[in-house]
Amino acid sequence: MTNGQAEVRYPIRVLQLTDCHLFKDDSGRLLGVDTFASLRDVIDFAMEMKGPPDVVLLTGDLSQDESPESYERLVDLVGRIPAPKYYLPGNHDKPALMAEVFAGRQGAIQSERTLVRGRWQLLLLNSTVADQVGGHLDSDELARLDQHLADNLDLFAMVCMHHHPLSVNSQWIDTIGLDNSAELFEILDRHANVRALLWGHIHQQYDGDRKGLILMASPSTCVQFKPNVAVFGVDAQAPGFRWIELDDDGAVRSEVHRLAKMPAGLDLASIGY
């Protein structure tokens, strides 16, 4: 457990970067987009607009080609942000490989899954399943969540993962979300200290509410998926980031910000990737 209470000032500022899909070198493209350049531009934009956050959350699909070099390049890029960084794997990642690469870079991207900052706990859940696109929270992960929430009733909580736990009204992507959301929500419903649930995976912004629980998903730092469609489609919206502020009274404020224009080379006619 990482405890930064001695240095806490409110609001606690959290920068979420998700679905970066990096390649091992500059020749890699996702649907025509240079994902390295796009992430670099998003980071520079975030730092210019908001300044350094207190915490950076990297919520999965950080690599596209599952190469050690892609994770090395990620470390170099996020090193531009003067804040502690934490990650979750996504379905495009290789968890053992990314852990090995990050560990070799002296904590540049940290592996802790429970972060305590002042009156807040950030609980990071691994929803990935080997060789599957969809997500699942196994019994150990759910038990860990339940136990941490029960043991820290005096702390507000934001729960984070990669896969989406509910329908986002896009039939194709709703088939590859979290497959045991009912078990997750059963736990969350028992703990009034949980204030927000955050995820990636869907390459689009989502803001909702469930029984007072704030629900948030964020655009990719590269390519966006067209919302509210039955089949895969590429959206013309630009890459972006989510900025979250956590207050000492449990209030949560959040904004999504995007680059001024979509990346060069984006293939809007693609029917898959």
Q: What is the largest CA-CA distance in the chain?
A: 51
From the list 195, 184, 192, the residue with the least C-alpha distance to 157 is: 195
pLDDT of residue 273: 78
Domain ranges of the chain: 11-257
Cβ neighbors of 182 (< 8 A, separation 6 or more) are none
Reported confidence tier of residue 6, pLDDT bands at 50, 70, 90: low
Asked whether residue 5 carries a pLDDT value surpassing 60, the answer given is no
For residue range 219-233, list pLDDT tens digits in order: 999 999 999 999 999
Reported confidence tier of residue 35, pLDDT bands at 50, 70, 90: very high
Task: Compare 190 and 1 and report the one with higher pLDDT.
Answer: 190
Reply yes or no on domain 11-257 having CATH 3.60.21.10: yes
H helix or E strand, kind and range, residue 73: helix 68-78
For residue range 142-168, list pLDDT tens digits in order: 999 999 999 999 999 999 999 999 999
Reported confidence tier of residue 104, pLDDT bands at 50, 70, 90: confident
**Among the residues of the chain, which ranges form H helices?**
35-50, 68-78, 95-103, 139-151, 171-174, 181-190
Asked whether residue 2 carries a pLDDT value surpassing 80, the answer given is no
Q: What percent of the chain has pLDDT over 90?
A: 92
DSSP, res 4: -
Tokens 């509410």 appear where? 209
Asked whether residue 251 carries a pLDDT value surpassing 50, the answer given is yes
